Amino acid sequence: MHCRHLTPRPSLSNAATVPKKQFSVLAVSKNAVAVLKGDSKVEGVVTLTQEDDGPTTVNVRVTGLTPGLHGFHLHEYSDTTNGCMSTGAHFNPNRMTHGAPESEVRHAGDLGNIVANADGVAEATIVDKQVL
pLDDT recorded at residue 20: 63
| Phi and psi, residue 85, nearest 5° | -65, -30
Q: CA dihedral defined by 116, 122, 125, 126, rounded to 10 degrees? A: 50
Sign, CA dihedral 48-101-60-39, equals: positive
Mean pLDDT, 10 residues at a time, the chain of 132 residues: 41 54 73 88 95 94 98 88 85 86 87 96 95 80
pLDDT recorded at residue 25: 62
Helix, strand or coil for residue 78? coil
Domains and CATH numbers, the chain: 28-128 (2.60.40.200)
Strands 23-25 and 29-37: unpaired
